[in-house]
Chain A
Amino acid sequence: MENHSLLISYSDNKLSLKLKGEFNLYIISKYQQQIEKIDFTNIKYLHIDLDALLFLDTATAIWINNLISTLSKQNIHTEILCSNKDILGTLKLVKEQIEKSSPLPHARQKSFIYSIGEQAYSNYTGFLLFMAFIGELFAVKLHYLKSIKNIRFKEIAFEMNESAIKALGIIALTSFLIGLVVAYQSAYQLKIYGANIFIVDMLGLSILRELSPLITAIVIAGRSGSAFTAQIGAMKITEELDAMRTMGFDPYLFLVLPRIIALMIAMPVLIFVSDMMAISGGILVAQINLDITPELFLERFNNVIDAKHFFVGIVKGPFFAFLIASIGIYRGLMVKNDTQSIGLNTTKSVVESIFAVIVCDAVFSIAFTNLGI
């Protein structure tokens, strides 16, 4: 059985409401609807009887208070009958607070044009901030490389282990599979023309020049770039970065440069591993599908693939590493003082660094081709 009820009764120009039992925020919406249906045009007096009310919470008190104030605007006089001190106290508290406060403001609806403008402006300022970051990075680097004593070998070694050596396994596996897949797909086509042996030329060129550097960069961006953003972002939220600054430890020196240098050193090594693994994937498929023995494969490889193709791939490494590490760290520094912003910036860091790596790769491609390398 419900332990609450509302009795509505009329007499001439007087409306009486009698509340019984316990009223709380779970039940009042039903009674609100009942009262909204009442036609108040002929009513001059409202009589609210709270004597049988056992308990009311603040939500109910707010409702009664609102009812009284809306009705008084229509010149309807209200009278409350109640002898319970707590209930009167709650009503009084609510009345005081509502009178004291102003209505809640509402968020302005943004127009389409406004959002476009806002987005464009934030992208523009984001770009400027990134430029400022790069500028500060180079300024610190110049200052830092003045003496060999300044180089923080320990941190660099630690970061190389964390963000590169520990990534060897996943890079090796991914590259091996990519080599396998590319070889497998082309083996079928080459067989049709009887050009089996050309698989060596094809794999050698594509893997050494393009595939290995790109795969390595993408894995590192997803694995280590995002870790940089999350680590530095969390340090920013817990005010660790501010603590470092006040103690005179420049975060650029202690956190930023070691990460960038470590990744720039390690990246060519990772690309080399990736090269070997992808080619071994190719050798496996050539043996199984095209009956090319590993000896034959390697002999052909030695004859047709110049060393320059290998170096073109390796040279890209430090550039990619610089882009990934600096974007990852920059995004980490952009984290604001809330948890959402870590997720947002980590996503951005991965997307932006992969995009930057691909753009950089395209530039290299055009440059090398025009230079005849």
Chain B
Amino acid sequence: MKNIINVRDVRTIFDDKVIHEGLTLSIREGEIYGLLGPSGCGKTTLLKEMVMLQRFSSGEIEVLGHNINTITHKVAQELRRSWGVLFQGGALFSSLSIAENIALPLKEYTDLNEKMIDEIVRFKISIVGLKSRDALLYPSQISGGMKKKAALARALAMDPKLLFLDEPTSGLDPISAREFDSLILKLRSLLGLSVVMVSHDLKSIYDTLDRVAIIDNKKIVYEGSLENMKYEQSEFIETFFRNKNE
């Protein structure tokens, strides 16, 4: 299987604090890949580096075949259209209603007519588990869980090939969280999505992830499938997965 993301020897330094010390990992097409690790280990930072929000000090990152160190502005813009990103807090645009938030990339990047855009928005709203009557609400009028769902709908608006999720199930009730998991699995199988996610939700990790990378102490301590993980010696793995492995 082809790799869609290659991270090679990435070092990240904030001021004089080293965050990543030579990270290397690869994410394959069609898989759901998890970045795990204790709080503050730089999972979200790595995710931000992959989507070109955060610069790194040295090393290389390749996304969908483009090296993002040497990418041109035009290619970068195309790349940005072919992925969807879900931020931790949703990051919906507060001046736009939910429907307008989802319709925004469709309006800017395609020549679809308004009726068609409406239908697509209706479908995306429904697929993430929101109701059509919520479409006119503004981000300040909805709960945290609804924001997350609306933000996922926005990330899915353009049917991206690659989806980055930063703690997608945190702040959702257990039922919504499980629905979210099964939605991700369904989208992956139907649309051939590849997903990279940061998660702390054990249930979600076991249900959805194909492979994981565990970042601890600035380095990758483990990369591979969940089954093989139990042979690995690491303080984080032992404490985090102890209950399940016992």
The interface bits of chain B over 92-110 (1 if a CB of A lies within 8 angstroms of the residue's CB, else 0) are: 0011010100000010011
Report how far A337 CA is from B141 CA in the complex, Å.
8
Residues from chain A with a CB closer than 8 A to the CB of B125 are 101, 104
Do A104 and B99 touch across chains, with their CB atoms under 8 A apart? yes
Report how far A95 CA is from B41 CA in the complex, Å.
43
Residues from chain B with a CB closer than 8 A to the CB of A90 are 190-191
Report how far A336 CA is from B133 CA in the complex, Å.
22
**Does A66 reach chain B (CB closer than 8 Å)?**
yes
Known A-B contacts A89-B190, A102-B132, A102-B133; A58 and B113 likewise in contact (beta carbons under 8 Å): no
Do B132 and A58 touch across chains, with their CB atoms under 8 A apart? no
Residues of B within 8 A of A (CB-CB), count: 36
**Does B138 reach chain A (CB closer than 8 Å)?**
yes
Of the candidates B124, B126, B189, the one having the most CB atoms from chain A within 10 angstroms of its own CB is B126
**Does B123 reach chain A (CB closer than 8 Å)?**
yes
Residues from chain B with a CB closer than 8 A to the CB of A28 are 112, 116
The interface bits of chain B over 162-200 (1 if a CB of A lies within 8 angstroms of the residue's CB, else 0) are: 000000000000000000000000100111100000000
Q: How far is the CB of A338 from chain B (nearest CB, A)?
A: 4
**Does A339 reach chain B (CB closer than 8 Å)?**
yes
Q: Which of A79-105 contact B (CB under 8 A)?
A: 86, 89-90, 93-94, 97-98, 100-105
Q: How far is the CB of B186 from chain A (nearest CB, A)?
A: 7
Do B135 and A105 touch across chains, with their CB atoms under 8 A apart? yes
Of the candidates A25, A93, A340, the one having the most CB atoms from chain B within 10 angstroms of its own CB is A25
Report how far A340 CA is from B139 CA in the complex, Å.
11
Do A89 and B112 touch across chains, with their CB atoms under 8 A apart? no
Report how far A102 CA is from B131 CA in the complex, Å.
8
Report how far A271 CA is from B241 CA in the complex, Å.
66
**Does B136 reach chain A (CB closer than 8 Å)?**
yes
Known A-B contacts A97-B123, A100-B126, A102-B132; A59 and B190 likewise in contact (beta carbons under 8 Å): no
Q: How far is the CB of A162 from chain B (nearest CB, A)?
A: 26
Could you pull out 9 A-B pairs where Cβ atoms are within 8 angstroms?
Answer: A29-B112, A29-B116, A58-B191, A63-B119, A89-B190, A103-B118, A103-B132, A104-B118, A106-B136
Known A-B contacts A29-B110, A339-B94; A93 and B159 likewise in contact (beta carbons under 8 Å): no
Do B140 and A336 touch across chains, with their CB atoms under 8 A apart? yes
Known A-B contacts A93-B190, A98-B122, A98-B123; A32 and B116 likewise in contact (beta carbons under 8 Å): yes
Known A-B contacts A57-B191, A58-B191, A102-B133; A338 and B94 likewise in contact (beta carbons under 8 Å): yes
Having A103-B132, A105-B132, one finds 7 other A-B pairs with CB under 8 Å, namely A58-B191, A63-B119, A86-B189, A101-B125, A103-B122, A104-B118, A105-B136
Residues from chain A with a CB closer than 8 A to the CB of B131 are 101-102
Do B112 and A86 touch across chains, with their CB atoms under 8 A apart? no
Q: Which of A321-353 contact B (CB under 8 A)?
A: 336-341
Do A340 and B123 touch across chains, with their CB atoms under 8 A apart? no
Do A24 and B159 touch across chains, with their CB atoms under 8 A apart? yes
Q: How far is the CB of A4 from chain B (nearest CB, A)?
A: 15
Do A105 and B159 touch across chains, with their CB atoms under 8 A apart? no
Known A-B contacts A97-B126, A102-B132, A336-B140; A25 and B158 likewise in contact (beta carbons under 8 Å): yes
Interface residues of A (CB under 8 A from B): 24-26, 28-29, 32, 55, 57-59, 62-63, 66, 86, 89-90, 93-94, 97-98, 100-107, 336-341
Q: How far is the CB of A95 from chain B (nearest CB, A)?
A: 10
Residues from chain A with a CB closer than 8 A to the CB of B123 are 58, 62, 94, 97-98, 101
Residues from chain B with a CB closer than 8 A to the CB of A59 are 112, 116, 120, 159
Closest to A57 in B: B159
Of the candidates A59, A93, A94, the one having the most CB atoms from chain B within 10 angstroms of its own CB is A59
Report how far A55 CA is from B190 CA in the complex, Å.
10
Do B132 and A107 touch across chains, with their CB atoms under 8 A apart? no
Known A-B contacts A102-B132, A105-B135, A107-B136; A93 and B116 likewise in contact (beta carbons under 8 Å): no
**Does B23 reach chain A (CB closer than 8 Å)?**
no
Report how far A86 CA is from B191 CA in the complex, Å.
8
Q: How far is the CB of A334 from chain B (nearest CB, A)?
A: 13
Report how far A125 CA is from B138 CA in the complex, Å.
22
Residues from chain A with a CB closer than 8 A to the CB of B106 are 25
Q: How far is the CB of B144 from chain A (nearest CB, A)?
A: 11
Report how far A336 CA is from B190 CA in the complex, Å.
41
Residues from chain A with a CB closer than 8 A to the CB of B133 are 102, 105
**Does B121 reach chain A (CB closer than 8 Å)?**
yes
Report how far A90 CA is from B192 CA in the complex, Å.
11
Closest to A92 in B: B190
Q: Of A25, A58, A102, which contacts B110 at CB under 8 A? A: A25
Report how far A24 CA is from B106 CA in the complex, Å.
12
Closest to B100 in A: A107
Report how far A32 CA is from B120 CA in the complex, Å.
14
Residues from chain B with a CB closer than 8 A to the CB of A100 are 126
